[in-house]
């Protein structure tokens, strides 16, 4: 009797496990394995630990930025201001470093704070003024770009990244594991906690499914929207700080190349672009997948033009595989 029930429980556990695995996340991980296999046929170095750790390090910059993008996409909104939020974060952190020891100490928080400020403007536009997110974030992106052009005079600034910025991007706290990966792990753990263990996270999923229903259940949805956009802005700027630490200085339009990858990482990871559905594990898979794809294309020495084309085609194909909206009935 007890045996039957225990085996029954086991079966139901196994079924529950199967049901919990998101097909999109599984596909994304499958594609990662496939890319590694294809790469290893091309060059055996692809399966070396050093190479994999390097890729993980590069992926962690994208991962931090994609975390913010995911939060906004879960709400059913989109943040197109990330390119210049990244650049602003990087430039302002480097600029703060020029102001003596206090500036050096506050460089990282100051950079992040600038991103949070941009995010709050986005959030107010979306939540209180009810402007479509796509439009208001494009506008703040243009304003941030304008501010940075005025600040730098249109040239790449001469300020250098601080020691601390370089350390969190390129150092090794634990031998063998790059610090950037640790940073991503911390950010990721924070995101998972926020999304699955707090009322804020529940509210984010609720608003993504139906803001009207969330509002009627007593959630101050506008407040949540502003906070989420602020976090997304802060994370994008933090990504910029990391990138500035990695290359030891900020550059004009350094964030432009991250817009499509960040959104693609989230969407390829199975998060619904309409909001309300998605897991952080998927975003991790998406960020690694995109980084590997970029790396393999560059190892194969395909020129920038070809990379752009392949990149766009792959994203469209993967979305067609599992990102389709239901047919109208």
Partner 1 sequence: MKDWKYWVAEQRGTLFAFVTFVVMFTIYVSNHPAGFTANVVQTAANKGVLLAFVAMAQALVVITAGIDLSVGMIFILTNCLASWIVVGTPLETALGIVGVLLAGLACGAVNGLIVIYGRLQPIVTTIATGAIFFGIALLLRPFPGGGVNEDLADFLTGKIWGVVPVSLLVLVAVVLLVWVPFSRSVMGRAAYATGSSEAAAYMSGMPIRRAKFLTYTLAGLLAGIGGLFLTFFTYTGEAALASGNAYTLFSIAAVVLGGVSLYGGTGSAIGAVFGALAFRAIGDLLFVFDLDPLWQPLFQGVVLLIAVSLGAFALLRVRNKLDWFT
Q: Which of 44, 132, 196, 220 binds partner 1 (CB under 8 A)?
A: 132
Q: Which of 215, 248, 277, 299 binds partner 1 (CB under 8 A)?
A: 215
Residues 6+ apart with CB under 8 A from 157: 91, 94, 95, 151, 249, 250
Interface with partner 1 in residues 172-191 (CB under 8 A):
none
- CA–CA gap between residue 271 and residue 279 (Å, rounded): 7
Q: Which of 142, 173, 186, 189 binds partner 1 (CB under 8 A)?
A: 142
Provide the minimum distance between the beta carbon of 254 and partner 1 in the complex, in angstroms, as a whole number: 13
- CA–CA gap between residue 325 and residue 329 (Å, rounded): 12
Provide the minimum distance between the beta carbon of 329 and partner 1 in the complex, in angstroms, as a whole number: 9
Provide the minimum distance between the beta carbon of 18 and partner 1 in the complex, in angstroms, as a whole number: 26
Is residue 135 within the footprint of partner 1 (CB under 8 A)?
A: yes
- CA–CA gap between residue 258 and residue 6 (Å, rounded): 50
CB contact at 8 A, 290 and 265: yes
Determine the straight-line distance between the first and last CA of the chain, rounded to whole angstroms.
Answer: 49
Nearer to partner 1, 30 or 306 (CB): 306
CB count within 10 Å of CB 46 equals 20
Is residue 324 within the footprint of partner 1 (CB under 8 A)?
A: yes
Is residue 51 within the footprint of partner 1 (CB under 8 A)?
A: no
Q: How many residues belong to the site for partner 1 (CB under 8 A)?
A: 60
Nearer to partner 1, 82 or 162 (CB): 82
Q: Which of 65, 211, 227, 246 binds partner 1 (CB under 8 A)?
A: 211
* Per-residue contact string for residues 266-285; x = within reach of partner 1 by CB under 8 A: -x-----xx-----------
Query: What would the two tokens of residue 83 be?
Result: 């390119």
- Contacts within 8 Å (CB) and 24+ apart, 104-111: 104/162, 104/163, 104/164, 107/161, 107/162, 107/164, 107/165, 107/241, 108/162, 108/164, 108/165, 108/168, 108/238, 108/241, 111/237, 111/238, 111/240, 111/241, 111/244
- CA–CA gap between residue 204 and residue 277 (Å, rounded): 10
Q: Which of 256, 265, 285, 300 binds partner 1 (CB under 8 A)?
A: 256
Q: Which of 49, 50, 101, 130 binds partner 1 (CB under 8 A)?
A: 130
* Per-residue contact string for residues 87-126; x = within reach of partner 1 by CB under 8 A: --------------------------------------x-
283: exposed, middle or buried (Cβ count in 10 Å: 0-12, 13-18, 19+) = buried
Applying CB under 8 A, which part among 13-21, 29-37, 150-158, 230-238 lies near partner 1?
150-158
Query: What would the two tokens of residue 281 be?
Result: 């594990």
Nearer to partner 1, 73 or 195 (CB): 73
Residues that bind partner 1 (CB under 8 A): 78, 125, 128-132, 134-136, 138-147, 149-150, 153-154, 210-212, 215-216, 221, 253, 256, 259-260, 263-264, 267, 273-274, 303-313, 315-316, 319-320, 323-328
């Amino acid at each position: 009797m007890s045996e039957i029930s225990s085996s029954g429980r086991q079966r139901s556990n196994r079924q529950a496990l199967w049901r919990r695995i998101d097909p999109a996340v599984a596909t994304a991980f499958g594609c990662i394995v496939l890319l590694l296999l294809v790469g290893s046929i091309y060059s055996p170095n692809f399966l070396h630990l050093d190479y994999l750790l390097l890729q993980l390090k590069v992926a962690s910059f994208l991962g931090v930025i994609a975390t913010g993008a995911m939060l906004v996409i879960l709400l059913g909104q989109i943040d197109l201001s990330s390119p210049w939020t990244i650049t602003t974060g990087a430039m302002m952190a480097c600029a703060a470093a020029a102001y003596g020891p206090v500036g050096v100490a506050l460089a990282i928080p100051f950079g992040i704070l600038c991103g949070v400020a941009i995010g709050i403007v986005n959030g107010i536009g979306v939540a209180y003024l009810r402007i479509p997110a796509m439009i208001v974030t494009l506008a703040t992106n243009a304003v941030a770009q304008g501010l940075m052009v005025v600040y730098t005079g249109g040239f790449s600034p001469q300020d250098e990244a601080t020691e601390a910025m370089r350390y969190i991007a390129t150092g090794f706290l634990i031998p063998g594991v790059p610090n950037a990966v640790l940073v991503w792990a911390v950010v990721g753990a924070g995101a998972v906690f926020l999304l699955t263990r707090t009322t804020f996270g529940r509210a984010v999923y609720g608003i993504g499914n139906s803001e009207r229903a969330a509002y009627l259940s007593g959630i101050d949805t506008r407040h949540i929207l502003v906070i989420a956009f602020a976090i997304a802005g802060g994370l994008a700027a933090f990504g910029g700080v990391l990138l500035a630490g990695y290359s030891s200085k900020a550059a004009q339009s350094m964030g432009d190349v991250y817009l499509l990858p960040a959104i693609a990482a989230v969407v390829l990871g199975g998060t619904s672009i309409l909001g309300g559905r998605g897991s952080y594990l998927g975003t991790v898979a998406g960020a690694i997948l995109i980084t590997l794809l970029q790396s393999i294309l560059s190892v194969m020495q395909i020129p920038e033009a070809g990379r752009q084309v392949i990149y766009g085609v792959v994203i469209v194909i993967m979305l067609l595989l599992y990102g389709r909206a239901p047919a109208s009935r």
